[in-house]
């Protein structure tokens, strides 16, 4: 199975981030990408197996992955530990659209969000009329998302990252 990586086919849409790239995973999810996170302490060989089995491109800072036979089709090595530099490293080569589908995935567990019910909205500490619309809910963890000043700041940052 060959993944879609630079020089090998269309752009990848699904990623697996190792534990060193948790912030990057968070922002990719905010942009609407399907991003699995490696559990802390996951062995390298397990990460490779998971990436291949789930059709994900492994994003890592671990140079040892590149030395593995067959890894080039499944691994994208990131050099920097700075978020903005990591974004610059992946945006063009992986054709990342930072405005792909903003805030359609749970930032914590990666699930697709769904519209909140009226009952769920009424349980929130804010008055419904004070919430930015629409209010979305994670079907897995139950977190609620709505447009507020924090969301707007994140959107502005993602717009700056666009190619």
Decide if 107 is inside a domain. Answer: no
Domain boundary among 38, 57, 91: 91
In a domain, 39, yes or no: yes
Token couple for 94? 């992986």
Give the closest residue to 53 by CA, choosing from 68, 36, 39.
Answer: 36
Domain count, the chain: 2
* Residues 87 and 26 occupy one common structural domain: yes
Q: Is residue 77 within 8 Å of 63, Cβ to Cβ?
A: yes
At 1 the pLDDT is: 34
Is the same domain home to 83 and 140? no
What are residue 144's DSSP bridge partners?
137
Assess whether 29 and 67 both reside in one domain: yes
Per-residue pLDDT of the chain (163 residues; tens, 9 = 90+): 334 454 445 578 999 999 999 999 999 999 999 999 998 888 888 888 899 899 999 999 988 877 766 677 789 999 999 999 999 999 999 999 999 999 999 999 999 999 999 899 888 887 767 776 789 999 999 999 988 888 899 999 999 998 5
Position 7 in a domain: no
Which residue range forms the structural domain that includes residue 28? 14-91
Does 103 map to a domain? no
3-state helix, strand, coil in the chain (%, to 5): 40, 15, 50
- 99 within domain boundaries: no
Residue 146 is assigned to a structural domain of this protein: yes
pTM for this one? 0.88
Radius of gyration of the chain from its Cα atoms, rounded to whole angstroms:
17
pLDDT (0 to 100) of residue 67: 74
- Give a yes or no: residue 42 inside a domain: yes
Q: Which residue has the tokens 């697996």?
A: 16
Torsion sign, CA atoms 86, 102, 149, 122: negative
Identify whether residues 33 and 76 lie together within a single domain.
yes
| CB neighbours of residue 47 within 10 Å | 23
pLDDT for 105 equals 97
- Do 79 and 22 lie in one domain? The reply is yes
pLDDT reported for residue 10: 59
Residue 108, domain member (yes or no): no
């Amino acid at each position: 199975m060959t993944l879609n990586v630079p020089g090998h086919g269309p752009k990848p849409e699904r990623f697996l981030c190792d534990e060193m790239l948790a912030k990057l995973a968070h922002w990719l999810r905010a942009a609407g990408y399907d991003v699995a996170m490696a559990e802390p302490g996951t062995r390298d060989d397990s990460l490779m197996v998971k990436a291949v089995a789930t059709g994900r491109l492994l994003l890592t800072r671990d140079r040892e992955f590149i030395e593995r036979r067959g890894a080039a089709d499944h691994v994208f090595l990131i050099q920097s530990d700075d978020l903005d530099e990591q974004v610059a490293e992946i945006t063009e080569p992986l054709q990342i659209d930072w405005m792909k589908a903003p805030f359609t995935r749970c930032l914590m567990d990666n699930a697709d969000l769904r519209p909140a019910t009226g009952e769920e909205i009424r349980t929130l500490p804010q008055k419904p009329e004070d919430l930015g619309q629409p209010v979305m809910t994670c079907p897995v963890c139950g977190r609620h998302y709505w447009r507020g000043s924090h969301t707007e700041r994140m959107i502005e940052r993602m717009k700056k990252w666009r190619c």
